[in-house]
Amino acid sequence: MALSDLNPVERNEEGIAAVLGILKQRLGERFQTGEAIRGQHAHTTTYIPTQAPDGVAFVETTEEVQEIVRTCAAHRVPVIAFGVGSSLEGHT
Protein backbone atom coordinates (compact mmCIF):
# COMPACT_ATOMS: atom_id res chain seq x y z
CA MET A 1 0.00 0.00 0.00
CA ALA A 2 1.30 3.43 -0.90
CA LEU A 3 0.60 6.60 1.01
CA SER A 4 -1.32 7.83 -2.01
CA ASP A 5 -3.76 4.94 -1.48
CA LEU A 6 -4.82 6.24 1.93
CA ASN A 7 -7.84 8.45 2.37
CA PRO A 8 -6.69 11.54 4.24
CA VAL A 9 -8.73 12.64 7.22
CA GLU A 10 -9.40 16.35 7.39
CA ARG A 11 -7.96 18.09 10.41
CA ASN A 12 -10.47 19.33 12.94
CA GLU A 13 -8.95 22.81 13.23
CA GLU A 14 -11.75 24.12 15.47
CA GLY A 15 -11.47 21.17 17.84
CA ILE A 16 -7.68 21.36 17.90
CA ALA A 17 -7.76 25.07 18.74
CA ALA A 18 -10.23 24.44 21.56
CA VAL A 19 -8.15 21.61 23.03
CA LEU A 20 -4.92 23.61 22.81
CA GLY A 21 -6.53 26.46 24.74
CA ILE A 22 -8.02 24.19 27.39
CA LEU A 23 -4.79 22.26 27.95
CA LYS A 24 -2.66 25.41 28.09
CA GLN A 25 -5.00 26.84 30.71
CA ARG A 26 -5.09 23.60 32.72
CA LEU A 27 -1.41 22.60 32.54
CA GLY A 28 0.32 25.95 32.08
CA GLU A 29 4.01 25.55 31.26
CA ARG A 30 3.64 21.78 31.27
CA PHE A 31 1.78 22.03 27.97
CA GLN A 32 4.07 23.11 25.15
CA THR A 33 3.31 24.10 21.57
CA GLY A 34 6.75 25.41 20.61
CA GLU A 35 8.38 24.06 17.47
CA ALA A 36 11.46 22.63 19.25
CA ILE A 37 9.50 20.51 21.75
CA ARG A 38 7.01 19.39 19.12
CA GLY A 39 9.91 18.40 16.84
CA GLN A 40 11.40 16.22 19.56
CA HIS A 41 8.15 14.24 19.62
CA ALA A 42 7.72 14.02 15.85
CA HIS A 43 10.05 11.18 14.89
CA THR A 44 8.84 7.88 13.53
CA THR A 45 10.43 4.68 12.31
CA THR A 46 7.67 3.92 9.81
CA TYR A 47 7.28 4.79 6.15
CA ILE A 48 4.79 7.51 7.08
CA PRO A 49 6.28 11.02 6.84
CA THR A 50 7.13 12.69 10.14
CA GLN A 51 4.39 14.93 11.53
CA ALA A 52 4.88 17.06 14.62
CA PRO A 53 2.10 17.01 17.21
CA ASP A 54 0.11 20.19 17.78
CA GLY A 55 1.09 20.17 21.46
CA VAL A 56 2.98 18.13 24.04
CA ALA A 57 1.67 17.62 27.58
CA PHE A 58 4.02 16.78 30.43
CA VAL A 59 1.62 15.12 32.83
CA GLU A 60 2.22 14.36 36.49
CA THR A 61 -0.82 12.32 37.48
CA THR A 62 -3.15 9.66 36.17
CA GLU A 63 -5.99 12.14 36.59
CA GLU A 64 -4.29 14.58 34.20
CA VAL A 65 -4.01 11.85 31.58
CA GLN A 66 -7.69 11.05 32.03
CA GLU A 67 -8.65 14.71 31.72
CA ILE A 68 -6.60 15.14 28.55
CA VAL A 69 -8.13 12.06 26.93
CA ARG A 70 -11.65 13.17 27.88
CA THR A 71 -11.03 16.69 26.59
CA CYS A 72 -9.64 15.43 23.29
CA ALA A 73 -12.47 12.92 22.89
CA ALA A 74 -15.08 15.61 23.53
CA HIS A 75 -13.59 17.71 20.71
CA ARG A 76 -12.85 14.74 18.41
CA VAL A 77 -9.10 15.32 18.50
CA PRO A 78 -6.78 12.28 18.39
CA VAL A 79 -4.26 11.57 21.15
CA ILE A 80 -0.87 9.99 20.48
CA ALA A 81 0.80 8.68 23.63
CA PHE A 82 4.56 9.08 24.00
CA GLY A 83 6.58 7.59 26.84
CA VAL A 84 10.16 8.63 27.43
CA GLY A 85 11.36 7.65 23.97
CA SER A 86 13.35 4.68 25.24
CA SER A 87 11.28 2.06 23.37
CA LEU A 88 10.49 0.50 26.74
CA GLU A 89 6.91 1.80 26.87
CA GLY A 90 5.44 -1.60 26.14
CA HIS A 91 5.39 -1.74 22.35
CA THR A 92 7.28 -4.38 20.41
Please give the mean pLDDT across all residues of the chain: 86
Evaluate whether residue 5 is within a structural domain.
Answer: no
Contact status, residue 19 vs residue 72, Cβ threshold 8 Å: yes
Phi, psi angles (nearest 5°) of residue 74:
-65, -30
CA 91 to chain centre: 17
Residue 54 is classified by DSSP as S
If one counts the domains in the chain, the total is 1
In a domain, 1, yes or no: no
Instruction: Specify if 69 maps to a domain.
Output: yes
Q: Tell me, yes or no, whether 89 lies in a domain.
A: no
Q: How much is the pLDDT for 86?
A: 60
Q: State the Cα–Cα distance between residues 69 and 63, nearest whole angstrom.
A: 10
Q: Is residue 61 part of a domain?
A: yes
Q: How confident is the model at residue 92 (pLDDT cuts 50, 70, 90)?
A: very low
**23, 79 Cβ separation under 8 angstroms:** no
Q: Provide the residue range defining the domain that includes 30.
A: 13-74
Query: Per the domain annotation, does 18 fall within a domain?
Result: yes
